A and B are shown apart, each in its own frame.
Chain A
């Protein structure tokens, strides 16, 4: 997934963590998921991401998840942080 310099990141590349790259804009949700447990939890990760985006009422976004087997709470927390950083950047405030 291609991002501009406005993209924000949250997370790490440690085992059982994930890296989120996110950029607000457009009028659709583009979600790309790479996960070592994708066959079993790809759909669950997609649902968690959508749930956080719903929480913030976000419609237009590009988001890439690189997951190394994180649990659901970690996935939601990392996505929330990424969304907050992106919103803060948009509002000109530090996250």
Chain B
């Protein structure tokens, strides 16, 4: 976890004087109001909201030092961030904070605007590739903030993350500003990750390639929250926005891990009729869902609800009636997008509803169990999903810490080694999800239950499962890989990793 010497550095950053170090997954004592301030508006009836971006940037008074935001629902197909940032740069505006619900490889195209000082601070879930290297070369004015999906919603709602202008890529949008993500040539599905921005930003601008002259039937973000609409030829590349088909793992080791995971789940009381679950959209999580589906059919169980990102496999279970309803902050493929548009049991929810810890009950708190992946895990069950084995930015916290904290039982499915590199370590390179919220590690070499959960360990006895301790698995990993030299990381920090409650759980080092 985070060293006090780094906390001292962090508290020297203007505005971060009161940042706290992580002290426990359920140790938050929030104070104050949920409502971040937002200016009131008055639009005379008949006002045309559809304007050029150039006009809008002047009208909202965008200037140096402000914070602009974007959602990542267009994933690796997004063209809106580049379009907007380029237009802003042409006005000579500098020193902006880029707040994005995440940044994908496609955002490498923003590098010139980082190098020229148009963007000097970053608030995101992930950053990778060229932007990741820029951050790790110490290129920003202050450390980048890496948040969970729920943590970002919390930061926006409490006013900690104040957004001056939110630019919302909208696959479909009408002239009044109603918009959705399920229609149009660039449909991306749920706009859950744009909803907090739409609700709390000072100015909200829809950027659309699907302008409708008649009011939309399906509304994800309502006209009451949208100040301006601007049109472009294309908001993104459909091939990068959604994949055509689901990927189920074919790797034998991964299938073995998935089968073990399903056997673990089926042996616990969390597997029951009317259960609620979340499966990630990685190959192993989907394969695990496949085995769970078979167990459900055997026992004649149905799931009351599914939560989290949706792919075609989840949709199949929804259509079969094996999942009765779905709460969906994000979609990954065309089947999922189509289901969200047409199936009344398939509900679009905001990032805040999904995972914000500072609300009466985010949807992750419904979960009986969740199956998640990991880049690395350690003997204390801490999980890294943000950096690789050398400390380089690679992934994103996303909803990982949120789902792990919310679920009654969190399973991590992960190969013990990737190539020669052991993925189970004494200490993960970067702590993103605390071990306190992780219950079971399933690998191809055995299953380890967190000693905090003797109740789960008891359920798994006598079930023919390869139970072992996490220390024994660690020894196995070392024996297979050989002894690794310790990783030397720079003392200079270029990023902070926030836990969902806003405390600092780790730092990112310069490379």
- B361 close to chain A: CB less than 8 A: no
- B59 close to chain A: CB less than 8 A: no
| Chain B nearest Cβ from A63, distance in angstroms | 19
Proximity string of chain A (30-61) to chain B, C-beta cutoff 8 Å, 1 when within and 0 when not: 00000001011111100000000000000000
Interface residues of A in 3-17 (CB under 8 A from B): 15-16
Contact B485 A37 (CB under 8 A): no
| A residues less than 8 Å from B421 (CB atoms) | 37, 40, 69
- B51 close to chain A: CB less than 8 A: no
| Chain A nearest Cβ from B394, distance in angstroms | 15
| A residues less than 8 Å from B34 (CB atoms) | none
How many Å lie between the Cα of A16 and that of B480 in the bound state? 13
Contact B485 A71 (CB under 8 A): no
How many Å lie between the Cα of A70 and that of B454 in the bound state? 38
| Chain A nearest Cβ from B10, distance in angstroms | 27
Contact A69 B390 (CB under 8 A): no
User: Contacting A37 at CB < 8 Å: which of B419, B480, B483?
Assistant: B419
Contact A44 B419 (CB under 8 A): no
Contact B487 A70 (CB under 8 A): no
Contact A71 B484 (CB under 8 A): no
Which partner residue on chain B sits nearest A69 by CB separation? B419
How many Å lie between the Cα of A81 and that of B395 in the bound state? 40
- B244 close to chain A: CB less than 8 A: no
Which partner residue on chain A sits nearest B390 by CB separation? A39
Which partner residue on chain A sits nearest B420 by CB separation? A69
Proximity string of chain B (258-280) to chain A, C-beta cutoff 8 Å, 1 when within and 0 when not: 00000000000000000000000
- B133 close to chain A: CB less than 8 A: no
Contact A15 B419 (CB under 8 A): yes
Contact B419 A39 (CB under 8 A): no
Q: How many interface residues does chain A have, given as a range?
A: 10 to 19
| B residues less than 8 Å from A71 (CB atoms) | 420, 480-482
| Chain B nearest Cβ from A9, distance in angstroms | 22
Contact A40 B419 (CB under 8 A): no
| B residues less than 8 Å from A72 (CB atoms) | 482
Q: How many residues of B contact A (CB 8 A)?
A: 12
Interface residues of B in 382-430 (CB under 8 A from A): 389-390, 419-421
How many Å lie between the Cα of A16 and that of B484 in the bound state? 16
Q: Interface residues of B: mostly helix, strand, loop or mixed?
A: loop
| Chain A nearest Cβ from B489, distance in angstroms | 11
**A-B contacts, CB under 8 A, total:** 35
Interface residues of A in 69-83 (CB under 8 A from B): 69-72
| A residues less than 8 Å from B487 (CB atoms) | 39-40
Contact B480 A41 (CB under 8 A): no
How many Å lie between the Cα of A48 and that of B467 in the bound state? 33
How many Å lie between the Cα of A41 and that of B390 in the bound state? 12
Proximity string of chain B (472-489) to chain A, C-beta cutoff 8 Å, 1 when within and 0 when not: 000000001111110100
Contact B420 A70 (CB under 8 A): yes
Contacts known (A69-B421, A70-B420); A40 close to B480, Cβ less than 8 A: no
Which partner residue on chain B sits nearest A16 by CB separation? B419
Identify the interface centre among A39, A40, A70, A72: most chain B CB within 10 Å of its CB. Answer: A40
| A residues less than 8 Å from B482 (CB atoms) | 41, 44, 71-72
How many Å lie between the Cα of A44 and that of B483 in the bound state? 7
| B residues less than 8 Å from A41 (CB atoms) | 420, 481-482, 484-485
| A residues less than 8 Å from B389 (CB atoms) | 40
How many Å lie between the Cα of A41 and that of B420 in the bound state? 9
Which partner residue on chain B sits nearest A44 by CB separation? B482
How many Å lie between the Cα of A16 and that of B421 in the bound state? 11
How many Å lie between the Cα of A71 and that of B482 in the bound state? 8
| Chain B nearest Cβ from A4, distance in angstroms | 31
| A residues less than 8 Å from B480 (CB atoms) | 71
How many Å lie between the Cα of A25 and that of B398 in the bound state? 56
| Chain A nearest Cβ from B271, distance in angstroms | 37
How many Å lie between the Cα of A54 and that of B390 in the bound state? 32
Which partner residue on chain A sits nearest B480 by CB separation? A71
How many Å lie between the Cα of A9 and that of B352 in the bound state? 59
How many Å lie between the Cα of A42 and that of B389 in the bound state? 14
How many Å lie between the Cα of A47 and that of B135 in the bound state? 35
| Chain B nearest Cβ from A66, distance in angstroms | 15
How many Å lie between the Cα of A41 and that of B482 in the bound state? 8
Identify the interface centre among A37, A43, A72: most chain B CB within 10 Å of its CB. Answer: A37
A selection of 30 A-B contacts at a CB cut-off of 8 Å is: A15-B419, A16-B419, A16-B420, A37-B419, A37-B421, A39-B390, A39-B485, A40-B389, A40-B390, A40-B421, A40-B484, A40-B485, A40-B487, A41-B420, A41-B481, A41-B482, A41-B484, A41-B485, A43-B485, A44-B482, A44-B483, A44-B484, A44-B485, A69-B420, A70-B420, A71-B420, A71-B480, A71-B481, A71-B482, A72-B482
Residues of A that sit less than 8 Å from B by CB: 15-16, 37, 39-44, 69-72
Additional A-B contact list (5), CB under 8 Å, known A41-B482, A44-B484:
A16-B419, A37-B421, A40-B389, A41-B485, A72-B482
List 10 A-B pairs, minimum CB-CB distance, nearest first: A69-B419, A40-B484, A72-B482, A44-B482, A69-B420, A43-B485, A37-B420, A71-B420, A40-B485, A16-B419
